[in-house]
Amino acid sequence: MSARSPIAAHSDARRARTLITPEGLALPIAIAPLASRAGALIIDVMIIFFGLIVFQLAIYWIADGVLGGTQFDPNRMSEAAIEFLGILVALFVFCTWYGYFLVQELGPRGATLGKRAVGIRIAARGGARLTPEAVIARNLLRDIEIFYPLITLLVLVIVGDRGEPVGMLGWVVTGWFGLFLLFPFFNRDRLRAGDIVAGTWVVERPRAKLGSVLSAQGAAAAEGASDVTGVRYDFGEAELSIYGEKELQTLERMLRESPDEALAAAHAAICRKIGWNPGAGDERAFLEAFYAQLRAKLEADMRFGKRKADKFS
């Protein structure tokens, strides 16, 4: 396996950040590259565009089949009927455009299909929960930053080709587009205006690597018994019911990647939450046992059709 180049390592170091969760846990993250963000947006726009084309063709095909052979001739529709259909199409496009981003980014993955394809997601800065208000704000601002000036420039080009005067409006719109386009290059976290207003940032989504199963290591494999102190950690239904799948995934990631200081913080946070005071010095064994028993409980619940997405559900 070849070693990573110094330039790549330096780039990763510049994008490295630490996210503090509401429980006070420090998680290492990386700011998403601008190229990945641009690629994700292109993929999403193409999905929406081709989806709308397929929908329109399907509507025409269905209408032709339903109206064919009847007294209703689509070619003889009144202007009022045509305007009404135009309004319906505009509403559908509006709902599709904003619903595509809102529904997916408010989901547990925090990412659209395009973002998932390139391995990035959005998150709230400061460790807070990602709210609908934040997602709505950043998506509305995207139109002001990118699509409105692009559409305006396209219209001005068409008007100019017809010989009509455009004046300084073209330069104004170009400056508007260029200002927002270059905005992420002039701040440390590569935030666009929508991210600043919404309090969000775009981070890399860690790709899972095949590794040893945590439930077969340490205290998890020894049925909660510590290799260091010999203490057996056994958690009851009340303690394990506090957390859900999201917290389980966070704990697994910390056990694989985080240093001892971060594990100590996680240990303290969980102990405060469940009302335990086991003392210090055996944090990893405690967390391994808690992880194994929480995972077993969630898997057992899922077999009976019960799911707990996170501690808030």
Whether residue 14 is contained in a domain is answered as no
From residue 95, alpha-carbon distances to 92, 101, 296 in Å are: 5, 10, 41
**Distance of alpha carbon 199 from its chain centroid, rounded?**
14
d(CA 203, CA 32): 5
pTM across the whole model: 0.64
The pLDDT tens digits for 127-179 are: 677 888 999 999 999 999 988 898 888 888 888 888 888 788 888 999 999 99
Judge if 271 and 131 occupy the same domain. Answer: no
pLDDT mean over 298-307: 80
Cβ distance 293 to 240 under 8 Å?
Answer: yes
pLDDT reported for residue 65:
62
Q: Which domain holds residue 146?
A: 29-204
Whether residue 101 is contained in a domain is answered as yes
Whether residue 186 is contained in a domain is answered as yes
Where does the pLDDT of residue 10 fall: very low under 50, low under 70, confident under 90, or very high at 90 and above? Answer: very low
Q: Is 75 helix (H, G, I), strand (E, B) or coil?
A: helix
Which helix (DSSP H) or strand (DSSP E) does residue 139 occupy? helix 132-142
Judge if 282 and 162 occupy the same domain. Answer: no
Q: How many CB atoms lie within 10 A of CB 301?
A: 15
Total structural domains within the chain: 2
Judge if 133 and 252 occupy the same domain. Answer: no
Question: Does residue 42 have a pLDDT over 90?
Answer: yes
Cβ distance 215 to 284 under 8 Å?
Answer: no
Report the DSSP beta bridge partners of residue 18: 28
Judge if 161 and 290 occupy the same domain. Answer: no
DSSP string, 220-254: HHTTTB-TTT-PBP---HHHHTT--HHHHHHHHHH
Cβ distance 32 to 202 under 8 Å?
Answer: yes
Question: Does residue 25 have a pLDDT over 60?
Answer: yes
